[in-house]
Amino acid sequence: MRFLALLFLGCSFALSTHAATPPNVVFIMADDLGYSDLGCYGGEIATPNLDGLAKEGLRFTQFYNTARCWPSRSALMSGFYAQQIHRDALPELGGGGQGVRQKWARLLPDFLKPAGYRSYHSGKWHIDGPVLAGGFDRSLDMKNQGNFFTSAGNSIDDVPVKVPADEKGYYATIATADHAIECLQDHAKNHSGKPFFHYIAFIAPHFPLHALPEDIAKYRDKYLAGWEAMREARYARQKEMGLTNTELSKLEEKVGPPYDFPEAIEKLGPGEVNRPLPWASLTDEQRRFQATKMAIHAAMVDRMDQEIGRVLAQLKSMDAYENTLICFASDNGASAEIMVRNGGHDPKAEPGSAATYLCLGPGFSSACNTPHRRHKTWVHEGGISTPFIVHWPAGISAKGELRHTPAHVIDFVPTVLDLAKIEKPKAWEGEAIPEAPGKSLVPAFIKDETITRDSLWWLHEGNRAIRIGDWKLVAAKDDAWSLYDLKTDRAEQHDLAKKMPDKVEELAAAWQEKTGAFTMLARQTQADQPVSKAKGKAQGKGKGKGKKKD
């Protein structure tokens, strides 16, 4: 009885704290980070700052994104599935990265502003429209995603930057943190009486694999044992941490990048490998090339964590750390893509430098997504699973605990509004706002309980899935449905579709019902979508496969 009483008091304390003082909110998003890349999720990369947040906060084991950059960001900031707001394709309507949200599809800052919040954005945007029009007060929009060593193409407060004659020392990850810190310093000086929301969206570790030489040096020879050894080591640590109870997925040697760019393979040279083949079967040149790419990826994650440490130090210096809800996630799983864009690739240049254009590829992407299957763009668990860290000393009494409830980026908006005691409006400028699908995660902040919902739904480039309870129905584009029991098989190794056709039919009908409802909603404003000059039709109906910027 004494234990139950103490538990009740602890829960009441957490609830009363957030009710009395609405928190500041910081959401940190990585780009193309694998589920197991952080130390606190089983990785060997040095991430002490994020590990520290996890140790003093919560780690969610079943948190999801949308499998791709722009849909995840739109869902995160709006609380709607991207297809509901024209930000990803639907079978009958098309759509995608060029789609424009309905007027009622507001972003989180618009709901926070009436409660006195100021909102800041630092880093990648990739949501439709100018940043400040989304309700933010200040922004660094890193539109340049092809070179980490120049600010060319970026905007500050939606105004293009003037590129200095000498940008020696510029690195995008550092610049993102610099801007975030400057915004926080200004807030402390001029707006200290107001709460703030800060969306910090690092481009790292998205391709091209660009990193500082001193960071690469820390990992140069670390991955020469290969992707199988890396997967096994990470998996063992995950099991020890209690992060997973599934078996380790098998490498799919016939599954390569989602888009085929044979000319890129030729440019990258004989060290490139576009399949997760057995490490022992590779040549010495291939093993060194692949291990070097993974070393650069690790260096990018390492540097991101270092810069996050600087942001945390700023929060502490302005006495805001205790009452700031800090969340961290990735927009999709690690990427199997291999391509050469922007300034091209100089094979003679130092790997990781501005003259190179390298991508992680399917071998080490599989390892980064341990223990799950597949990669970014697929809606198998490897494409949609992300680490999710939540830290809020003033509001969450639990420390170092795991949360097993399935959750999704659509849950962020309702969670913040719940904590800030803000009632979301039913309409915007006379237009009704439809009911959003996300759920507040506040109950899971208090204890490890499952958030009740009817389903979680996915669709991207023909890859589709639905999760109801522990049952997941999933299919790659043009493939038949597969059925998995995620309670024991998040590795998606044991297809139960043939054994349980009734369950397949039930989940398929639920997926189609959701898809139909989203289509009906989007169809209402389909005529307002921009017209592609190249195609003379609503933007996004053409596939343009492999050409999207993400």
Answer for the pair 129, 73: CB distance below 8 angstroms, yes or no.
no
Which of 67, 113, 196, 43 shows the shortest CA–CA distance to 459?
Answer: 67
In eight-state DSSP terms, residue 90 is B
What's the CA gap between 121 and 157, in Å, rounded?
9
- The active-site residue, picked from 18, 40, 69, 198, is 69
Residues in a beta bridge with 199 = 27, 121
Contact 362, 375 (CB under 8 A): yes
Cβ atoms 421, 22 nearer than 8 A: yes
369: Cβ contacts below 8 Å, ≥ 6 apart: 34, 35, 36, 333, 334, 375, 381, 382, 383, 385
The terminus-to-terminus CA distance of the chain in angstroms comes to: 54
Whether residue 156 contacts residue 140, with contact meaning beta carbons closer than 8 Å, is answered with yes
The residue with tokens 């998040």 is 490
Q: Where are the alpha helices (DSSP H) in 340-410?
A: 362-368, 381-384
69 is catalytic: yes
Following DSSP, what letter does each residue of 37-88 receive, concatenated? -SGGGT--S--HHHHHHHHTSEEEEEEE--SSHHHHHHHHHHSS-GGGGTSS
Q: How far is it, in rounded angstroms, from Cα 338 to Cα 320?
A: 42
8 A C-beta contact, residue 58 and residue 402: yes
**Residue partners of 372: CB distance under 8 A and separation at least 6:** 35, 249, 333, 380, 381, 382, 385, 490, 491, 492
Are residues 46 and 526 in contact, defined by beta-carbon separation less than 8 angstroms? Answer: no
Of 121, 126, 179, 391, the catalytic one is 126
Angle at 203 between CA 300 and CA 291, to 5 degrees: 30
- The verdict on whether 191 is a catalytic residue reads no
Q: Which residues are catalytic?
A: 69, 126
